[in-house]
């Protein structure tokens, strides 16, 4: 009997790797004969690199890059292993998954042609102390350096998660690291590390010096937001305040992004201003499309494809997924519902073990839903004892499902 375990992280509690390992422990507790395939997932945000490296038997690569404010930070990307992965039986599977997640077993990932990057690792809000958060000054230059490092490592396909940014620079800093030159109104190249406050000064764009490998690579961006670059729902007005922008700063950023869109249109013929997803990560979505030829794609289908989830579900008797909270919004691109749909196409029943499950959650998509907060368990208790509860709920769910 085969079970595929494909959860997301429980935000502010456990990583997807930890959730998958705890669920697997519950499954093998019911029978040592279970074949367990651990396939932790992410949506492009924090934890996606770790999840995909663990799910594919890949490896991590650490590199020093410029942070959002120009200081050196240690960032990490992943080189993926074989998407189909090996099916992991019993306790052997658990130890292998944990080893991969910690970077301890990287042999299968060596030489991978697919890299996964979290822009937040180099240009994320968590890297900027609260008192220094100012999107007029922050840059995505380090994200561009991560892209170059992945190309140096042999990757020819890149998956980039762009959640959690500290920036509203339209992706210009990232583009500069790739070799794109922005010319200011004075006719001179803009200083490297172009930030949101300098966008209005850009007069023209020169792509002739861009690293030639960028055009040859397939760059896919996990992007679940549909915000345009500018306007009431754009990068500056919606996300600027979250990154430290005052009302006055928002207006400067909005004007800068609108101006940048006009310059991009003149230089490349691409109209990115109202493109769905262009406003993601402070306009990095637009920048990756315009300066790197990237494609913006929904996160879960992209990540599930990268780890070969459909293939791994072939011949499975059951799939177990989970996320921190199963509610009405879960139907709009979140992991548990996405896994349920993919498993349904494969004819595999799915059990969901979320942290919490609201009354309006889409329970009908699952064979059963077993939230950690069932019975007398409070949210506080669930977060404190998450691993033990995940193990217990998984064992309970499997026993009940196969008693039917």
Q: How many C-beta neighbours within 10 Å does residue 291 have?
A: 27
For the segment 191-230, what is each residue's pLDDT rounded down to a tens digit? 999 999 999 999 999 999 999 999 999 999 998 888 999 9
Q: Tell me the C-alpha distance between 350 and 140, whole Å.
A: 39
Residues 6+ apart with CB under 8 A from 191: 198
Percent of the residues in the chain that have a pLDDT greater than 70, as a whole number: 92
More confident site: 90 or 82: 82
pLDDT of residue 403: 81
Average pLDDT over residues 307-312: 94
Answer whether residue 107 shows pLDDT above 50.
Answer: no
For the segment 4-34, what is each residue's pLDDT rounded down to a tens digit? 999 999 988 999 999 999 999 999 999 878 8
For the segment 135-149, what is each residue's pLDDT rounded down to a tens digit? 999 999 999 999 999
Select the CATH number that applies to the domain covering 48-84+104-299 from these four: 3.40.50.720, 3.90.1510.10, 3.30.2270.10, 1.10.4080.10: 3.90.1510.10
Label residue 186 by pLDDT band (50, 70, 90).
very high
318: three-class secondary structure by DSSP: strand
Q: Are 260 and 273 in contact (CB under 8 A)?
A: no
Q: How many C-beta neighbours within 10 Å does residue 229 have?
A: 30
Cα 136 from chain centre: 25
Average pLDDT over residues 31-46: 87
pLDDT of residue 100: 39
pLDDT of residue 43: 77
Could you please state the CATH topology (level 3) that the domain comprising 2-41+309-402 is classified under: Rossmann fold (3.40.50)
For the segment 327-376, what is each residue's pLDDT rounded down to a tens digit? 988 887 789 999 999 999 999 999 999 999 999 999 999 999 999 999 89
More confident site: 97 or 295: 295
Q: Tell me the C-alpha distance between 228 and 363, whole Å.
A: 32
pLDDT of residue 102: 40
Q: Are 368 and 327 in contact (CB under 8 A)?
A: no
* 203 phi/psi in degrees, rounded to 5: -105, -35
* 337 phi/psi in degrees, rounded to 5: -70, -40
Q: What SS3 string covers 46-99? A: CCHHHHHHHHHCCEEEEEEEECCCCCEEEEEEEECCCCCCCCEEHHHHHHHHHH
Q: What Rg value do the Cα atoms of the chain yield, rounded?
A: 22
Cut 0.75: pTM above it: yes
> Could you give the angle at which helices 386-402 and 16-30 cross, rounded to 10 degrees?
40
pLDDT of residue 84: 45
Average pLDDT over residues 40-61: 90
pLDDT of residue 83: 54
Domain map of the chain by residue range? 2-41+309-402, 48-84+104-299
pLDDT of residue 89: 32
């Amino acid at each position: 009997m085969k079970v595929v375990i494909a959860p997301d992280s429980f935000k502010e509690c456990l990583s997807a790797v930890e959730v998958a390992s705890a669920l697997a422990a519950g499954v093998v507790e019911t029978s040592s004969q279970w074949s367990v395939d651990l396939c932790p997932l992410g949506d492009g945000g924090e934890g996606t690199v770790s999840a995909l490296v663990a799910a594919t038997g890949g490896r991590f690569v650490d590199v020093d890059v410029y942070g959002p404010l120009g200081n050196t930070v240690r960032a990490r990307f992943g080189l993926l292993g074989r998407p189909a992965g090996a099916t992991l039986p019993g306790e052997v599977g658990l130890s292998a998954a944990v080893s991969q997640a910690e970077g301890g077993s990287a042999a299968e990932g060596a030489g991978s042609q697919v890299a996964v990057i979290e822009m937040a690792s180099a240009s994320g809000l968590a890297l900027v102390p609260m008192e220094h958060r100012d999107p007029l000054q922050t840059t995505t230059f380090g994200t561009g350096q991560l892209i170059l490092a992945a190309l140096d490592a042999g990757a020819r396909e890149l998956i980039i998660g762009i959640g959690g940014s500290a920036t509203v620079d339209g992706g210009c800093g990232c583009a500069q690291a790739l070799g794109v030159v922005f010319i200011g109104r004075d006719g001179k190249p803009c200083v490297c590390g172009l930030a949101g406050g300098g966008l209005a000064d850009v007069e023209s764009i020169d792509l002739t010096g861009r690293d030639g490998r960028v055009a040859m690579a397939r760059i896919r961006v996990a992007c679940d937001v549909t915000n345009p670059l500018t306007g009431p729902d754009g990068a500056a007005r919606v996300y600027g305040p979250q990154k430290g922008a005052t009302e006055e700063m928002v207006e400067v950023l909005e004007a800068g992004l609108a101006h940048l869109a006009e310059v991009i249109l003149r230089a490349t013929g691409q109209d990115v201003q109202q493109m769905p997803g262009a406003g993601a990560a402070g306009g990095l979505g637009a920048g990756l499309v315009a300066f790197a030829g990237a494609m913006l794609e929904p996160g879960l289908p992209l990540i599930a494809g990268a780890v070969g989830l459909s293939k791994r579900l072939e011949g499975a008797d059951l799939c177990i997924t989970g996320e921190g909270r199963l509610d009405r919004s879960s139907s709009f691109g979140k992991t548990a519902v996405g896994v349920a749909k993919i498993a349904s196409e494969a004819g595999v029943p799915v059990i969901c073990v979320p942290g919490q499950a609201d009354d309006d959650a889409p329970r009908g998509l699952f064979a059963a839903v077993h939230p950690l907060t069932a019975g007398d368990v409070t949210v506080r208790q669930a977060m404190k004892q998450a691993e033990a509860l995940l193990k217990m709920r998984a064992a309970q769910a499997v026993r009940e499902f196969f008693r039917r």
